[in-house]
A and B are shown apart, each in its own frame.
Chain A
Amino acid sequence: MIRSTHLPLIVTLVTFVLAFALCGSQYPSILSTRVVANLLTDNAFLGIVAVGMTFVILSGGIDLSVGSVIAFTGVLLAVILRDTSMHPLTAFALALVITTAFGAAMGATIHYLEMPPFIVTLAGMFLARGAAYVLSTDSVPIDHAFYDTLQGIYWKAAGGGRFRLIGGLMVVTFIVGAVVAHRTRFGQNVYALGGGAQTAKLMGVPLAQTTIGIYAISGGLAGLAGIVFSLYTSAGYSLATVGVELDAIAAVVIGGTLLSGGYGFVAGTFFGILIMGLIQTYIVFDGTLSSWWTKIVIGMLLFAFILLQKGLTWATTVRKRRATGSAALS
């Protein structure tokens, strides 16, 4: 029998396959390597940041700062490459260190000051966006030979699809994320924390270490997404990626992770991303629908998944109550 914790993941997977088939039946050119490559390339930054968001939501938290951190990273890189002779790789490392430390600092604040993650990361969102504006309000172009090299790396499949480096990086991030979440002690701790901080503490989960680790990962991956975004647009722009944190949260939820934490799969988020990308692709292919339908469809999907989650939680509690009830009787 299918375990109920797997059900949201299966629903996501089935939704994606059905949607893809449906879109393909209407516009056969959607079933091409081009569209598949586009889905990976165009959603690379969103996917990477959503992996971090999956960890955060699995632990029962939320991270609203990631969109701003992406923009900040992009502007930071653009300004460094414009004003100094630093090699992009060094700049990448610097950006990752800063964003990881930023995430860790938010995690520490959440844990030690016992503040709700919503407020702490909201502050982080304003901080990072503000820092990006301070660095530059203009869109700063990045013109560096190393960037051209990285952007020039792609594998051209039959049918003209170009699988680019950033799409590959996203897939690797998902694989590493899945391994960490499901195969390491840290991953187990994240799930335990999502099940309830008090219980986790009793189980001997190092709360401080785990919380700080989770937000450090989210911050670091937002930094990586920022690097990817700068490769994607060859520029750093402080107005970029507004609201991406919400898209990432939507992808995680559509991917079957419980918003209350404790249940979910990194792989689900991957399909959440693909579903959202597919909706956008379909609307462009149609060409007459208003693009705002993307939001409406995502909104409806989210709502459906929340209902599904609620139903599952309810079913589980009823089953548990029945189990404990009968135990008490006997």
Chain B
Amino acid sequence: MNIKTTLLAGAVAFAPVAGFAADLTIGFSQIGSESGWRAAETTVTKQQAEERGIDLKFADAQQKQENQIKAIRSFIAQGVDGILIAPVVATGWDEVLEEAKDADIPVVLMDRTVDAPDDLYLTAVTSDLVHEGNVAGQWLVDEVAGADCRVVELQGTTGSSPAIDRKTGFEQALEGHDNLEIVRSQTGDFTRSQGKVVMESFLKAEGGENICALYAHNDDMAVGAIQAIKEAGLKPGEDIKIVSIDAVPDAHLAIANGEMNATIELTPNMAGPALDAMEAYLADGTMPPKWIQTESKLYTAEDDNKAVYEMKKDLGY
């Protein structure tokens, strides 16, 4: 009875929206919900679609490429007007993108790119991942100001482009600064629990007093690592400086509490520019540039992190 009422209420609530939004149907193949940032990206994408009166078909791939390929093929079979993909890995998209192109369905890549000829997709909306790593590295270089520093690194999912590029960017920033040395680098799979586990092993292997800074490829791993550092009896943010990427609400909170030092924002609003490009293309064939870059803003203790936290906490992070 209860479920029925809810379903009915839902149907009634959505009916006018669906009727109004009949003009555009967009399929969105999301990787999954492995991190808070990803959940926020999903929320913002759904908000953006609703604001524009777009009927969004959402498919969660549960971290599996085969699920994403299946979802995209189903979108094509369904005859959607456009497809948004946040690709889980860079390789193996040629065939399915060709099918989309054949069916005249524009595809916009979000937040990650793919190894495919660039005529197979309309545009890619991403942050510059190498640049993010670079900003993080540069911050650390300035922060230690010449003092010796042994750095440990928590990498993202092995083989994923953010893991590769954020590592590259960070290393580039550290180049020529011999006082900074990356002593350990291991994957924490972008998750809180793995971040904690791997940080524990770092602390055991190196000894907490020998680690001066932690660079995590995302905030979730950093938050997990903060827990591990606290449990080891050290003060995160003081004994071990922490810089990571994404700027999720918990990271702002950690900075406000002095447990973390810096985070670089990866905006969850990839769908805004992506849908702008898509709508313009569908309306009059305007070709967007092949790459739309989002801003990578650095947040430190100098910013009002409490305020940012309040603003971001309801996005579903």
Determine whether the beta carbon of A284 is less than 8 Å from that of B158. Answer: no
Determine whether the beta carbon of A292 is less than 8 Å from that of B60. Answer: yes
**Interface residue? B43 (CB, 8 A):** no
User: CA separation between A283 and B99, bound complex, in Å?
Assistant: 21
Determine whether the beta carbon of B74 is less than 8 Å from that of A38. Answer: yes
Interface residues on A, range: 35 or more
Residue ID in chain A nearest B89 by CB atoms = A139
User: CA separation between A162 and B73, bound complex, in Å?
Assistant: 11
**Interface residue? A313 (CB, 8 A):** no
- 8 Å CB interface, A210-235 against B: 229, 232-235
**Interface residue? B71 (CB, 8 A):** yes
Q: How far is the CB of B181 from chain A (nearest CB, A)?
A: 23
Q: How far is the CB of A160 from chain B (nearest CB, A)?
A: 7
**Interface residue? B115 (CB, 8 A):** yes
Q: Which one of B90-98, B202-210, B289-297 is at the A interface?
A: B90-98
Determine whether the beta carbon of B62 is less than 8 Å from that of A27. Answer: no
Determine whether the beta carbon of B78 is less than 8 Å from that of A42. Answer: no
- 8 Å CB interface, A117-155 against B: 137-142, 151
CB neighbours (8 Å) of A263 from chain B are none
CB neighbours (8 Å) of B55 from chain A are 287
With contacts defined as CB atoms under 8 Å apart, how many contacts are there between chain A and chain B in the complex?
106
Partner of B71, one of A160, A239, A241, A284: A284
User: CA separation between A121 and B54, bound complex, in Å?
Assistant: 48
Partner of B27, one of A140, A283, A287: A287
CB neighbours (8 Å) of A12 from chain B are none
Partner of B91, one of A139, A241, A277: A139
Interface membership of chain B positions 47-77, coded 1 if the CB is closer than 8 angstroms to chain A and 0 otherwise: 0000000011111111011110111011111
Determine whether the beta carbon of A29 is less than 8 Å from that of B77. Answer: yes
Interface membership of chain A positions 269-284, coded 1 if the CB is closer than 8 angstroms to chain B and 0 otherwise: 0000000010011011
CB neighbours (8 Å) of A291 from chain B are 59-62, 67
A30, A233, A234, A284: most-surrounded residue (chain B CB, <10 A): A284
Q: How far is the CB of B165 from chain A (nearest CB, A)?
A: 13
Residue ID in chain B nearest A33 by CB atoms = B77
User: CA separation between A233 and B91, bound complex, in Å?
Assistant: 7
User: CA separation between A138 and B59, bound complex, in Å?
Assistant: 25
Determine whether the beta carbon of A139 is less than 8 Å from that of B90. Answer: yes
Residue ID in chain A nearest B160 by CB atoms = A139
Determine whether the beta carbon of A42 is less than 8 Å from that of B70. Answer: yes
Determine whether the beta carbon of B66 is less than 8 Å from that of A42. Answer: yes
**Interface residue? B103 (CB, 8 A):** yes
Q: List chain A positions with a Cβ less than 8 A from chain B.
A: 27, 29-30, 32, 34-35, 38, 41-42, 45, 137-142, 151, 160, 162, 229, 232-235, 237-242, 277, 280-281, 283-288, 290-292
Contacts A138-B164, A277-B70 known; 20 new A-B pairs at CB < 8 A: A29-B77, A29-B79, A34-B76, A34-B77, A137-B159, A139-B90, A141-B91, A142-B91, A232-B66, A232-B92, A234-B95, A239-B158, A240-B64, A240-B66, A280-B67, A283-B59, A284-B57, A285-B57, A291-B59, A291-B67
Instruction: Show 29 residue pairs from A and B whose CB-CB distance is below 8 angstroms, ordered by the A residue.
Output: A27-B78, A29-B77, A32-B77, A34-B76, A34-B77, A41-B73, A42-B73, A138-B158, A138-B159, A141-B91, A151-B94, A160-B102, A233-B91, A234-B91, A237-B89, A239-B159, A277-B70, A280-B67, A281-B74, A284-B57, A284-B71, A284-B78, A285-B74, A288-B58, A290-B60, A291-B59, A291-B61, A291-B67, A292-B62
